[in-house]
Amino acid sequence: MSPIPGLQRVGLLGGGVIGGGWAARFLLNGVDVQLFDPDPEAPRKIGEVLANARRATTKLVMPSLPPEGVLRFVSTPEEAATGVDFVQESAPERLELKQDLLRRASTAAGPDVVFGSSTSGLLPSLLQEGMRFPERLVVGHPFNPVYLLPLVEVCGGAVTSVAAADRAVAVYESLGMHPLRLAKEIDGFVADRLMEALWREALWLVNDGVATAEEIDDAIRFGAGLRWSFMGTFLVYRVAGGEAGMRHFMAQFGPTLHWPWTKLMDVPELTDELLDRLVAQSDDQAAGRSIRELEVLRDDCLIAVMQGLRTVGFGAGEVLDRYERQLFGRSPAPAVILGGGPIRIHECTVPTEWVDYNGHTNDSRYMQLSSEAGDRFLRHIGMDAAYLESGRSFFTVESHINYLAQSTAGDRLYVTIQLISHDEKRMRLFTAMHRADDDSMVATAEHMMLHVDTRLDRASPTDPLILDRLAVIGAQHDLLALPAQAGRAIGQRRDA
Amino acid sequence: MSPIPGLQRVGLLGGGVIGGGWAARFLLNGVDVQLFDPDPEAPRKIGEVLANARRATTKLVMPSLPPEGVLRFVSTPEEAATGVDFVQESAPERLELKQDLLRRASTAAGPDVVFGSSTSGLLPSLLQEGMRFPERLVVGHPFNPVYLLPLVEVCGGAVTSVAAADRAVAVYESLGMHPLRLAKEIDGFVADRLMEALWREALWLVNDGVATAEEIDDAIRFGAGLRWSFMGTFLVYRVAGGEAGMRHFMAQFGPTLHWPWTKLMDVPELTDELLDRLVAQSDDQAAGRSIRELEVLRDDCLIAVMQGLRTVGFGAGEVLDRYERQLFGRSPAPAVILGGGPIRIHECTVPTEWVDYNGHTNDSRYMQLSSEAGDRFLRHIGMDAAYLESGRSFFTVESHINYLAQSTAGDRLYVTIQLISHDEKRMRLFTAMHRADDDSMVATAEHMMLHVDTRLDRASPTDPLILDRLAVIGAQHDLLALPAQAGRAIGQRRDA
C-alpha cells in the first residue's frame, strides 16, 4: 500500500542508468514497480543503482522513508503497463524503438494512465504517434542521478492534454522532484540545449589544446558552477550588474557577445585523435577512481550541496524541504496497538556508519534512535506538517540514557515508548531499545519534552486534540510500573 | 603587520564590483590596500562590498580572521603602486584605459612587483605593451563575488616570466583562492568562453520565446548546476557513461553534437524589444528583492554549498579546508587552558545535516558532539590505538543531557569538559557545549564511563599511566564547583 494517494504501482520501460534511477525514486517512495528491459543484465544493474539510491536517499532526508515498494521484472512492455497508475519510458534514444515501446504499452494501460518519456531530446509530438490515447504522452526528462537531482522537464506534444501534463507534474512532485513545465516543444528542450552549448565549447578547447578536461572542469567547479547550483545565469548576472540592474549589465556585457569568445560556426570533428585525447585526459582526471567510487563521491557532494541549500531555504534546498515535509506528513501515523503496555513505535537495522572504534553502535546513536522514536510518537498523537506549519512543536529539554548492552551493524532493533506523565505543556517519555532477535534491552532513554510556540520561542499549551490522545494513552500507561532506569541521576548507585 | 609573509600591502587599480571584491579579500586576510579609483562614489561602494564580504567570510571560515588590513584611497595609479608588494588592476574592460593605468602604475612600483589584471577577456600580451618591466604582468581573472569564489584564472602574455606567474599564484593561494594556470592565451580565457556559450544559448531561448529567464535559470539550478558545483562537465559525463566509461559516453552522445540542439550560426540581435523582454523577465524573477538582498542570498548559498562540500572534502570544499588550515597556521597559537577550569577540548561548525524539521540542531546531535568531546578527552589522557588493540577501552554506561538553547547550521560551537570524579574503573565526565560567538551554553551532558576488558566484556582496572593523568586533572577539577546540571534526574524541578 503506497503512501502516495493514487500512485500504488508504476510501469517502467527500460532499466538503464536513467530507468534504474526512476525505479529507485519510485521504490524508495513506497511505490511498486513493474519493469520491462530485455537486457539480461538489467536486474544486476538496477540492483546496483538501487543500492546507491537507498544509501543516498536515507542520507539526504531526515524523516524515515516509507516501506520500500516491490520491484518486479516483466517480460513485455504490455505486462509492464498492466494495472499501473503511471508509466515512465527510459529506453535508448532511438525514435522508432521508443515509439514501438510506447505504442505497445499504451494498448495495455488503462485509458487514464499517463505516460512520461525520459527522452533527452526527441519531440513528444513524434513520440506520441501511434499510441492508443496519444494525448496522455508527455516528456518527463530527468537528470542523472535521477534519484537525487530534482529537475524534470515536462513538455507536451501536439496532442498532449493539459490534464496529462498536470498528472505528470503531480507524480513527479510526489517523488520530491521539481517539474519544470515547458511551454514550447523544441529539440533538446531547455536544459540539454544549455549543457550542449557549454559542452561543445569545452570540446573545442580540448581540440585546440587550450586546456585539458581537468582544467576545463576546474574552470567550472571553482567558479560559475558554484553559483549555478542555486542561481541560474540570468539572476547571477542581474546581481553582478549591481545597483544599476539588468539593463546596465546588458549594456556593459551585451557587446561581448560579438567578440570572438566562442567557436560559433562549427562543431569539432570527433576524430580518433580527439577521442583518444579526451579519453586519456578523462582517465588522468579520474586518477584511478572507479565509476562506483565516483558515483558515491558525486552523490555525497550532491547531498551536501542540497542539504547546505536547505539551511538557506533556496533553490534545491527549498525542494528538499518540501519533500521532507511531504514524507513527514505521509508517513502513516504508526500503526499502534494500545494493549496497555509500552507502545512498539519504531524499528531499524543498525547501519554501518553507526559503529565506532569499539566495534559497537556508538553511544550517541541510541540517542538518535530514541529521538526518532519520539518523533514517531509525536506523529502518532497528531503532530503533523500542518501542526508544525501553525508554529507549534515539541522541543526536548532534557534527556537521560542508560546503555545496557551492545549492538552492531546489521542488528535489528526496535523501540518501545511509555508515557510517564504529561500536563498541558510538558510530556515525560521513556523509550526502551530492544534487540529484535531475543527482545533483550540494549538501552533506555528518558526525555522531557516541552510544547513550544516556535514563533515566540516559548512554552505554550498543547492543542486539545493532542491532549485528548495523550489522555487515552496516559490512562493506560499510568497503570504501568515506573521503569527501573526512569528518574535516575548520574552518580546514583546502579541498584538504587 | 600582515600575517602573510611578503604580502604587507597591495595596490589596487579600480574599485568597482570586482576591485571592491579584491579589496575585501586582501583586507580580510590582513593585507593593507592602497586603492585608486577616480569615481567619487568608490569609497561608499567599496564600503558596501566590504561589509558583505566581512559578514560572509566570517561565516564561511571557522578560524578567526587576522586583524583587518588598512584601506587607503589614493588619487593616482602611481600612488597606488608605490611601496606595495603586488598590484591588481580591475578597471573597466577597455584596452586603452587598462594599458594606460598599468603603464603609469608600473613606473612607480618596485621592479619585482608583479601585476595581476582582472580582465575577463583582453589578452595579456596586449595589456603588457608599454609597461615598465612588462614580463611581470599576468592576467589574474577572478569571479564574482571575488571575496567568496575560489577560482582565479592565471594567464601570462608573450613576454610574461614564469616567476611572475608563480608569484601571482602564490599571492592568490594565500588569499584562499584556487588559481587555474592556463597554458595558452585566448580571448575570454576558459571559464568565460564556457559561460558565454551557455549565455548565448539562453538568450536565444528567450529571443525565440521558448522559455523565460526564470525557467532557464530553473533548468540549470535544479539540474546540471547542482553537479557543476563540484564536478565539471567532463567528469560528470564520465560517471554518466557508467561502467563503460568515457569512450562509451562519447560514442553514445557524440552524435547529438550534430543534432539541431543549439543555435550555432549567429548571435541574437540585442534589439530594444529583446532587451525590454529580458529586463521585464529579470524583474519578475527578482520578485521585488533588492540587489542587496540578492547578494546576501547568493553569498549565503555559496557559503552553504562550500561548507557542504567541505564535509565531503572535494572541490571547493577542499580549497576551503586548505584555506582554513592556512588561517590556523597563520593565527597565533590558541590559548590553551592548562590549569583551573574545564578543558576546552573540541569544536565544530554545525553541519547542515544536523538540522531537523524544527530548523534547529536535532537533540541527538548534542549527544554526538558531547560523545566526540569525550573521545578527544580519552585520547588526551592516553587512550590510543595501541591501548584499544590491547583489549581495553572505556564504555559509556549512562548519559544525561540538558538542552538549554538552540543552534543551527553554520553556528560555531565549542565543548568544555570537566572531570567530576573517577576511580580505578569509573570516570564521571561533564561536558558543556557553548556558542563560540558569545560563549553562551546551548547544552550540557554528563557521562558515566566504565573501563572494560573488551575481550571478556566486563569492567577492568584502568592502566596506571592513564590513572596518573586523570589524577593530575582531578586534582585541579576537584576544586571546581559541581555544575548546576550535574547529577540531575528527569522529572526533577528545574531549580533543584
Q: What pLDDT digit, counting tens, does each position of B368-402 carry?
A: 999 989 988 888 888 877 888 899 999 999 999 99
The Cα A300–Cα A293 span in angstroms is 11
CB < 8 Å to B245, chain A: 279, 282, 291
pLDDT score at B252: 66
Confidence label for A206 from pLDDT (cuts 50, 70 and 90): confident
pLDDT band with cut points at 50, 70 and 90 for residue A268: low
Looking at residue A101, its pLDDT comes to: 98
Q: State percent of chain B over pLDDT 90.
A: 50
Instruction: Return d(Cα B28, Cα B94) in angstroms, integer.
Output: 29
Give the range among A198-212, B70-84, B461-475 with minimum mean pLDDT. A198-212
DSSP A467-484: HHHHHHHHHHHTTSPPPT
What are the strands, taking DSSP E only, across B221-350?
A: 343-349
| pLDDT of B333 | 38
Strand partners, B343: B417
Identify the band that residue A346 occupies on the pLDDT scale cut at 50, 70 and 90: confident
Question: Is B9-187 a CATH 2.40.33.10 domain?
Answer: no
The torsion angles phi and psi of B479, rounded to 5 degrees, stand at: -85, -15
Q: Which residues of B touch A149 (CB under 8 A)?
A: 222-223, 226-227
* pLDDT (0 to 100) of residue A332: 57
The one-letter amino acid code at B128 reads: Q
- For residue B290, give the nearest of A243, A236, A251 by alpha carbon: A243
Cα–Cα distance measured from residue B370 to residue B258, given in angstroms and rounded to the nearest whole number? 59
H runs (alpha helix) in A208-290: 213-219, 225-228, 233-240, 245-253, 272-286
Give yes or no for residue B334 having a pLDDT over 50: no
Query: Rounded to 5 degrees, what angle do the CA atoms B56, B58, B63 make?
Result: 145
Question: Does residue B377 belong to the interface with chain A, where contact is any CB pair within 8 Å?
Answer: no
Average pLDDT, integer, range B15-35: 95
In the CATH hierarchy, which fold is given to the domain comprising A333-477? Thiol Ester Dehydrase; Chain A (3.10.129)
Contact call for residues B69 and B32 (beta carbons, < 8 A):
yes
Mean pLDDT of B289-300: 82
Of residues A68, A89, A107, the one with CA closest to residue A14: A89
pLDDT score of B233: 83
The alpha helices in B82-179, defined as continuous H runs, are 95-108, 124-127, 162-174
pLDDT score, position A269: 66
Q: At what angle do helices A291-312 and A42-60 cross, to 10 degrees?
A: 30
DSSP label of A346: E
Residue A493 has pLDDT above 70, yes or no: yes
Hey, is B335 helix, strand or coil?
Answer: coil
Give the CA dihedral A310, A315, A321, A324, nearest 10 degrees. -110
Q: Does B228 touch chain A (CB under 8 A)?
A: yes
d(CA A282, CA A284): 5
Question: Could you tell me which CATH class the domain B343-477 is placed in?
Answer: alpha beta
- Which H or E run includes B323? helix B316-330
* CATH number for domain A9-189, candidates 2.140.10.10, 3.40.33.10, 2.40.30.10, 3.40.50.720: 3.40.50.720
Average pLDDT of the residues in B307-332: 78
The residue among A434 and B273 whose pLDDT is bigger is A434
**What ipTM, to 2 d.p.?**
0.74
3-state DSSP assignment of residue A87: strand
What's the whole-number average pLDDT of chain A? Answer: 87
Arithmetic mean of pLDDT, A94-107:
97
Running DSSP on this structure, what letter comes out for residue A355? B
- Which of chain B's residues have a Cβ under 8 Å away from the Cβ of A150? 222-223
Distance between CA atoms of residues A93 and A167, nearest Å: 24
Sign of the Cα pseudo-torsion (B291, B292, B293, B297, in order) = positive
- Among B188, B142, B185, B137, smallest CA distance to B165 is for B137
The per-residue pLDDT for B277 is 76
Asked whether the predicted pLDDT for residue B231 surpasses 50, the reply is yes
Better pLDDT: A465 or B494? A465
B263: confidence class by pLDDT, cuts 50, 70, 90: very low
The pLDDT, as a whole number, for residue B336 is 39
| Angstrom distance (rounded) from CA B433 to CA B366 | 8
Q: Rounded distance, CA B231 to CA B255, Å? A: 23
List of chain B residues whose C-beta atoms are within 8 Å of the C-beta of residue A239: 144, 291, 294-295, 298
**Percent of chain B's residues with pLDDT above 70:** 90
**Looking at per-residue confidence, does A447 or A494 come out higher?**
A447
Chain A interface mutation, best of B39, B346, B363, highest count of A Cβ atoms under 10 Å: B363
E strands present in B118-238 = 137-142, 151-156, 178-181
pLDDT band at A453 (very low <50, low <70, confident <90, very high): very high
Q: Model confidence over A272-315: pLDDT tens digits?
A: 777 787 777 778 777 777 777 888 888 888 988 998 888 788 88
What are the tens digits of pLDDT across the range A111-128? 999 999 999 889 999 999
| C-alpha–C-alpha distance, residues B192 and B185, integer Å | 13
Give per-residue pLDDT as tens, A128-182: 999 999 999 999 999 999 999 999 999 999 999 999 999 999 999 999 999 999 9
The four Cα atoms B318, B68, B82, B106 give a dihedral, to 10 degrees, of 30
Residues 422-451 of B with CB under 8 A from A: 428, 446-448
Identity of the residue in B213, B214, B220 whose CB atom sits nearest the CB atom of A228 = B220
Fold entry, domain B192-288: N-(1-d-carboxylethyl)-l-norvaline Dehydrogenase; domain 2 (1.10.1040)
- Cα of A163 to nearest chain B Cα, Å: 21
Instruction: Categorize the per-residue pLDDT at A244 as very low, low, confident or very high, splitting at 50, 70 and 90.
Output: low
Contacts of residue B472, defined as CB under 8 A and 6 or more positions apart, other chains included, come to none
DSSP A4-42: STT-SEEEEE--SHHHHHHHHHHHHTT-EEEEE---TTH
Cβ–Cβ gap A307/B195 under 8 Å: no
What is the percentage of chain A residues whose pLDDT exceeds 70?
91
pTM: 0.74
Contact B349, B411 (CB under 8 A): yes
Give the integer Cα–Cα distance in Å for B305 and A305: 5
